[in-house]
Structure 1
């Protein structure tokens, strides 16, 4: 190859080498920039995510779990055993035994009723019906404390008794010395004879006791005295409340609720139709 030819080839290759060298240098310079950018982006995302995760975790751990005041009473006595034999002899003398009402859980709900018919032949007969029902409320984080739930039910029971269908001469009054609060409601019902209905609703802590007692003179016998019937109903309510406290290991005589004054919500009312 001639010297001139070699010189021209060298002249052509020199620019090509220069271009390749320039591209290498440009790429080499770009790599650290990309690495730095990638590193910054990665670190920033990691720190931000970590901060958010830590904040969320701290927030969750700082939020207290919902709590509610525990219910005072955890069980109920057997409904048919809450009254003494003497009380049953006085209120339902001809009742052979109590009839237990249905319940899906006897620790929260129970009832018992007694029927008594004293036949006096041509003079007629005296009828008595006595029923005791017990309802206990557990505390619930969504519904509230058991005693407040019992309070709501107590108020409803009183209202229902005061607005009984067909009732005449309705009267209400507070009752002292029976649970935390108690209300007595009386009225007349006309059926085969004049039935004198007495209802006592009492609340002790998270339990509501309802006593229904009515009497009538049938087939010409005289109508029983409403005051006597009310005394019997109040006596039964007081015994039932005592049975509830005793079933939960509390002495009714020393219970703070036993000495409380009548409920302020038990307004005295009477209406005559």
Structure 2
């Protein structure tokens, strides 16, 4: 049988081609170029927020605090109903890692009392924006919606308020329909300066207090005090309301503000990273 001729040159050419294909997957590939060599040019990722969890909202307010804010709760004679009133009602939420809240309502003989607390943990999905920065932006929007008067300052008893100097951070004015002028009976002329809606400098990273006195039809007046504050990437909002049952009775502004601010300080301390 006749053998086929062996051509050394062809074999050498095939070997060279195979070696070239193998070499192309080495250190000069685009994949390798994107690894250690380019580490210094990668964009820095914004830092996550301090807080990764939220407290249990209906359990974070103590019974003694509820007694102070909602005195009508002690008037409930039925033990089961009183125990249920202390428990409160959790706010419906679909992500308890991000937002939780609780509500209390007590119908006493002289007034109907309301209290709500809400916690929101802000998470930024933009690598260039930190959780804290995102929370700061959201809190600024909340403060803007509150429409604090232009005279709002950073403390209830600050010297700035006494001198009548406006806070540089306030952006709204009473003429624009701010909280202080939401009702004729709660106008700036009728409300002591240190009780007007204002910024607070002793709570969290930033905070404000709003106080609105409104009418319920032509009968009694309802007061609503709101204290909101931000600590790192968590925003906490307290809404405290009282609706008297008697005509001509006005809820005490100072007492309600003091109670709401004390609760805010307790909630600030309840946060844990």
Q: Same fold (TM over 0.5)?
A: yes
CA distance in 1, matches of 2:37, 2:69: 59
Query: Larger C-alpha radius of gyration, 1 or 2?
Result: 1
Higher strand share: 1
Q: Is the 8 A contact 2:89 2:104 kept in 1?
A: yes
Which residue is equivalent to 1:133?
A: 118
- TM-score of the two chains, using structure 1 as the length reference: 0.63
CA distance in 1, matches of 2:264, 2:94: 23
184, 195, 199: which one pairs with 2:209? 184
Unaligned 5+ segments in structure 1 are: 1-42, 120-124, 249-273
From the superposition, tell whether residues 75 and 50 of structure 1 become closer, same or farther in structure 2 (CA, over 3 Å).
closer
- TM-score of the two chains, using structure 2 as the length reference: 0.63
Q: Is the 8 A contact 2:146 2:178 kept in 1?
A: no
3-state DSSP of counterpart to 2:97: coil
> What does 1:44-59 correspond to in 2, within 5 Å?
53=29, 57-59=32-34
1:212 to partner: Cα distance = 0.7
What RMSD, in angstroms, separates the aligned Cα atoms of the two structures? 3.5
1:151 to partner: Cα distance = 1.1
Unaligned 5+ segments in structure 2 are: 1-18, 74-84, 149-176, 183-195
CA distance in 1, matches of 2:147, 2:271: 25
49, 53, 66: which one pairs with 1:88? 66
Would you identify which runs of 4 or more consecutive aligned residues in structure 1 move more than 4 Å? Answer: 43-52, 165-168
Which residue is equivalent to 1:215?
A: 242
> What does 1:68-107 correspond to in 2, within 5 Å?
68-95=46-73, 96-97=85-86, 98-107=88-97
Higher helix share: 1
Q: How many aligned positions are there?
A: 211
Per-residue CA deviations over 1:77-120 (Å, capped at 9, x if unaligned) read: 1001222211110111234231110121222210011112221x
